[in-house]
Amino acid sequence: MRNHILTSAIALAAALSSPALARPMTEVDLATLNRVAAPAASPDGRWVAFQMTETAQGSYKRSTGLWLVDRNAKNAAPVRVADVPEKNESAPAFHPDGNLYFLSNASGKSQIWRVDPKVGGGAAQVTDTKADVSGFKISPDGTKLLAWGDIARECTEFGCDAQDKGELPGPGTGRHYKNDVGFVRHWDSWETPGTYSRPFVFNLDGGKATTPRAVDAGLTGDSPSKPFGGGEELAWGADSRTVFFTLRKADKDEPRSTNLDIYSWLVDSRMMPVNLTADNQATDTLPTPSPDGKWLAYAAMARPGYEADRQVLMLRNLASGETKKLTEAWDRSVGSIAWAPDGKALYVTAQDVLDHPVFRVNVNSGKVEKLKATTEQWEGNVNDVTPLPGGALLYSRNSVAVPTDLWTRDAKGKVTRLTDVNRAQLSDIDPVKVDRLKFAGANGETVWGQIVKPVNSAGKLPVAFLVHGGPQGSFGNSWSTRWNPRLFSAPGYAAVSIDFHGSTGYGQAFTDSINRDWGGKPLEDLQLGLAAAGKQDAAIDTANACALGGSYGGYMMNWIAGNWPDGFKCLVNHAGVFDLRAMAFETEETWFDEWDHGGPWWERTDAEKWNPVNHVTKWKTPMLVIHGEKDFRIPYSQSLAAFHALQRQGVEGELLVFPDENHWILKGQNSVQWYQTVFGWMGKHLKK
């Protein structure tokens, strides 16, 4: 699979010119579509490198490689670069000299390599460390590398033979944790005491990395933060001597804290890292230094313990230390930050109603302007925004209808598509129609949703009623490799989703409104939303519907079972909370549970009000229950309890458990099994 050459643009066009019968999208399509990520531009903006993951038909074996496209060439097709069969290459980054650096496991470990993309040929290994390299950044002058990986705290180099990792010796396999530890397990992994995600600086000498020095001297914690932090949490200063990094302090209070801080460290000085955000006990992240080195932009939350608080764009004068809230008056949460080359503006992304567009923020005034384009290919879900010379932008984009590809927007707003990596496969699949839904929800407030259905569908369509997780999230205009509305519509359903109270993209007050109200306004919105969808589209049969949800959406399936028992023909509950009391004591990141429900269990004023287990005797709707055994966010025992409740009361139910998955279903063959099981369940209970 990895050895073939990308079909040329001419050959591809010829193949697509042959007529073909369209067909419904399948779960195999979703699992095997190519996945584009991590675009990087050369210093002159001509070359764009990106990683693409391919999945083999049948075996579902995945491999990731690097591709390169020349922006100056007419109708240029991406070509492979630095490809080693049976190995993976990822995370491309251009050196100032034009060489392409990247991660590869070609040596048996994850290390940094480099190649001259204009010459091609074999790649050269840059690092050779005992620990795997998880990520890296090149200094602006090209003389240093900032790299990070999981390394024992006592290691002074990038990995060592340290034996003492905090575990007590003994003859058995038991893990032994003392009372002063924080996380015992996190997301899907048991913690190894004393090992953290740690950044190091290397010198670059002749294309080789030498002399590793720890950046986090005197600090104990993860940088980047776990489980989802990455390169966006670390940055080089313009002087190539200063490193900015986000660190999550590791101590016994960590499971209850959302306090991330941004530090600066002067490379090769004897000074300790300086905490730039010590006064804020909530999240500070996304450090982004200005091109002239005078300013540090970053995002900050205001309320400790709240992971879904609004992220305000901050601007710090690095000389004086003076900080101002640049977007305090803008009721949106900043998701990414990039400086314009002239330093006069910042480009940020943010959820906005059902889209995730890019905005330009004036550095002096704080004025926020949503960028426009000369085509419609600007809405949807925009990410990976990279300013290019001449005022252009490189970015990735997807929507509820199409997966991710790369685009550019010039200074005048003209949009150009750089990649179309799934063109052949998508051209053979039935298109979908996407409509937006707007109605008066709980408290008479405006609520939005979407209806996705096959084009040219006939007759009344059964409904796949999708409820998003989070709960502070959105089923917006974006592509998902897990919960995919386009795929849910493929068997002849109308996939309907509602951004209920608590969703993101509608202002912070709307997001906050779900606090201590999990079963209140959101359920009312879902009931009103389903009715509004049926009223807006007469082809939707709202009386012939199955509701499906994961995480909080799974909680809502348990809640619906007891509080809307006549609403649906069937339910699908993936990793849902069944008993809030057990959840409060079993989940790992307790800040989330305690913020949303009013503190630890014994301090809640009405702890049982929204607990699904209290309504279990009213259950009668058939329910499919799904969970991953490696899920530590919502332990799989919650789904075992729900399934047992179905069995014990004689309610029709099925249980699907994945021993090798966490809170999400990520592996190709498991995704196919997941959808096959879900579609089989829906087909059994819904009339076509």
Distance CA 277, CA 70 (A): 41
Interior angle at CA 285, CA 283 and CA 287, nearest 5: 155
d(CA 545, CA 464): 6
Count CB atoms within 10 A of the CB of residue 102: 25
Residue 33: CA atoms inside 13 Å, Cβ hemisphere, count?
28
- The question of whether 597 is a catalytic residue gets the answer no
Judge if the upstream peptide bond of residue 471 is cis by omega within 30 degrees of 0.
yes
Q: Euclidean distance between the first and final Cα of the chain, in Å?
A: 39
Q: Which of 559, 593, 589, 600 minimizes the C-alpha distance to 576? A: 559
Structure tokens at 68: 């390169």
Three-state SS sequence of 389-419: HHHCEEEEEECCCCCCEEEEECCCCCEEECC
- Identify whether 227 is preceded by a cis peptide bond (ω within 30 of 0): yes
Alpha-carbon Rg for the chain in angstroms: 25
DSSP 15: H
**Number of other residues whose CB lies within 10 A of the CB of residue 308:** 23
Bridge partners, 246 (sequence order):
262
Half-sphere exposure of 214 toward its Cβ, with a 13 Å CA cutoff?
Answer: 23
| Cα separation, 185 vs 312, whole angstroms | 30
Catalytic residue among 139, 333, 551, 639: 551
Q: Give the active site residue among 29, 261, 355, 631.
A: 631
SS3 label, residue 548: strand
Q: What is the DSSP string of 488-524?
A: HHTTT-EEEEEE-TT-SSS-HHHHHTTTT-TTSHHHH
The answer to whether the beta carbons of residues 47 and 68 sit under 8 Å apart is yes
Kindly give the residue spans of alpha helices, DSSP state H, lying in 422-512: 423-426, 485-489, 508-512
How far apart CA 278 and CA 339 sit, in angstroms, is: 24
Catalytic residue from among 95, 186, 663, 685: 663
- The Cα–Cα gap between 625 and 641 comes to 10
Strand partners, 137: 146
DSSP 458: -
User: Do the Cβ atoms of 85 and 76 come closer than 8 Å?
Assistant: no
Beta bridge partners of 51: 37, 66
Q: What is the DSSP string of 194-241?
A: TEEEEEEEEEEETTEEEEEEESSTT--EESS-TTT--GGGEEE-TTSS
The continuous run of DSSP H or E covering 112 comes out as strand 111-115
CA angle 406, 408, 412 (to 5 degrees): 160
| Catalytic residue status for 251 | no
| Whether 541 is catalytic | no
Catalytically active residues, by annotation: 551, 631, 663
